[in-house]
Amino acid sequence: MTPAGDNAFLDAARALLGAVHVLTGADAAPYCRDWRGRYTGRALAVLRPATTDEVAATVRLCREHRVPMVPQGGNTGLVLGSVPDGSGTAVVLSLQRLNRVRAVDPLNNTMTVEAGCLLQHVQEAAAGAQRLFPLSLASEGSCTIGGNLATNAGGTAVLRYGNTRDLCFGLEVVTADGEIWSSLRGLRKDNTGYDLRDLYIGAEGTLGVITAAVLKLHPQPAAQMTALAALDTVEDALALLQLAHARCGPALTGFELMSALCIDLVRAHFPQLAPAMAARQYVLLELSSSESAAHAAGLLETTLDEAIAGGICGDALVAASLAQAQALWQLREHIPLAQAADGKNIKHDISLPLSRVAHFIAVTETALHDALPGCRLVCFGHLGDGNLHFNVAAPAGTDSEAFLVHQPLANRIVHDSVHAHGGSISAEHGIGALKRDDLLLYKSATEIALMRTLKRALDPDGLMNPGKVL
């Protein structure tokens, strides 16, 4: 657009939303920086509509002026999906003002919320109705439910409750041409043609703007028990997972793997959180019982006793209080913070069939050490879902910033191995702009062609979050 065209567009946006909700210059800058602070783009403006009708009118205005749009929730995404490129031609479409809980229906076990609601507020509103909304991420105080849906976020309870997709019964969406489509009916069954909801979930804002959703609620557990188990190998961790599934069934709600190096990093930077036990691998288990604390404790004790007797597990620490359970989760959640305190590293968010996880780790670690002698593998994650955060750090005592020059090589080694083991190069964070080129390497030509066909059909002008995913 010409400067005159830009001004005409901005005037029209101000008339639509009010001048205070059209941010430019320094006011727009925070919306253009990614969460990790590694990238800063530029926006023509940040537009902050407050209702679905305003979102629809904003999308129509952008379309009329051919202005690209980058939907944004809490801007906690880790793959550069929520920030504009450096051209300064796109607007950030912030959903933060659409933040109402529209309805809670305890009989249907659903709640209808707007896209800009913080995940933590959604959890609190569910708890207020004596229900559980089980999606849980370390970013829950900042991310929005719209962002969670747009990225199909995972988190710590996928093992029992599924991804965000599994927690959604219906959506309200503003399409790329500014129409409003709604399936906010709270239906558990609806086989009436193509599932449009599933197209918009996980699309990372490239097909339309999610403005509201009907979420699935669960009963609140009567009690939860948490334990930390000390093990020798990843194979042992997988054997413990099988055992825990067999003994605890749906009561098993969390199963997180942490290697010794992860715990060493936490010990170095947050010593108050480090456990007293020493092991080569650690597993954090969480059980939720709909009956009682005694029931959860019984299941946990049976599982751990059998694991210790069978030589799968060396030692275990069972949290005796809520505070101790929280401290164990803090240990897990501080791994990324301890890593950041240790220096820069090369991150991978991958998933594999459980049956191939151990072989993958063994051969990929060897390949990384051969190519990058002395590099350190910081491996942790939601093992119950086959999801690993498989991060590569610089050799101890060396310049971590300089080590980032090896990122393309490390990515190639890890992602080639993931592909060879039948896994995915993005388990829960999405593709955004960061992994877009890698997607072309690992998806089949047929799959990419089908995705492009969908993109062209639903966003023919290519204005919805251009340059992301495809």
Ligand X SMILES: Cc1cc2nc3c(=O)[nH]c(=O)nc-3n(C[C@H](O)[C@H](O)[C@H](O)COP(=O)(O)OP(=O)(O)OC[C@H]3O[C@@H](n4cnc5c(N)ncnc54)[C@H](O)[C@@H]3O)c2cc1C
Choose among 124, 145, 144, 8: nearest CA to 66: 8
User: Smallest gap, in angstroms, from Cβ of residue 348 to ligand X?
Assistant: 14
User: Smallest gap, in angstroms, from Cβ of residue 332 to ligand X?
Assistant: 10
Angstrom distance (rounded) from CA 319 to CA 91: 48
Q: Is 407 helix (H, G, I), strand (E, B) or coil?
A: helix
Using rule CB under 6 A, residue 468 touches ligand X: yes
Contact with ligand X (CB under 6 A) among 58, 148, 175, 289: 148
Q: Is 408 helix (H, G, I), strand (E, B) or coil?
A: helix
Where do runs of H (alpha helix) occur along 210-356? 234-248, 260-269, 293-309, 322-333, 335-342
Using rule CB under 6 A, residue 75 touches ligand X: yes
Q: Positive or negative, the Cα torsion across 217, 151, 115, 25?
A: positive
Could you tell me which stretch among 145-153, 278-286, 324-332, 436-444 binds ligand X (CB under 6 A)?
145-153
Query: Cα Rg for the chain, rounded, in angstroms?
Result: 23
Contact with ligand X (CB under 6 A) among 41, 68, 71, 178: 71
Angstrom distance (rounded) from CA 87 to CA 85: 6
Using rule CB under 6 A, residue 421 touches ligand X: no
Could you give the string, one character per residue 179-218, with x where binding to ligand X holds by CB under 6 A and - elsewhere? -------------------------xx---xx--------
User: Smallest gap, in angstroms, from Cβ of residue 137 to ligand X?
Assistant: 4
For tokens 């609190």, name the residue: 124
Residue 148 or 253 with smaller CB distance to ligand X: 148
User: Smallest gap, in angstroms, from Cβ of residue 458 to ligand X?
Assistant: 12
- Residues 6 or more apart whose CB falls under 8 angstroms from that of 35 comprise 75, 76, 77, 78
Using rule CB under 6 A, residue 423 touches ligand X: no
Contact with ligand X (CB under 6 A) among 84, 147, 275, 423: 147
Using rule CB under 6 A, residue 254 touches ligand X: no
Residue 48 or 468 with smaller CB distance to ligand X: 468
Using rule CB under 6 A, residue 155 touches ligand X: yes
Angstrom distance (rounded) from CA 392 to CA 414: 10
User: Smallest gap, in angstroms, from Cβ of residue 416 to ligand X?
Assistant: 23
Contact with ligand X (CB under 6 A) among 144, 259, 281, 289: 144
Answer for the pair 350, 390: CB distance below 8 angstroms, yes or no.
yes
Choose among 39, 14, 37, 36: nearest CA to 24: 14
Answer for the pair 76, 429: CB distance below 8 angstroms, yes or no.
no
Residue 80 or 410 with smaller CB distance to ligand X: 80
- According to CB under 6 A, which residues from 93 to 132 bind ligand X? 95, 115
Answer for the pair 391, 379: CB distance below 8 angstroms, yes or no.
yes
Q: What are the residues binding ligand X (CB under 6 A)?
A: 35, 70-78, 81-82, 95, 115, 137-139, 143-144, 146-148, 150-151, 153-155, 204-205, 209-210, 428-429, 432, 465, 468
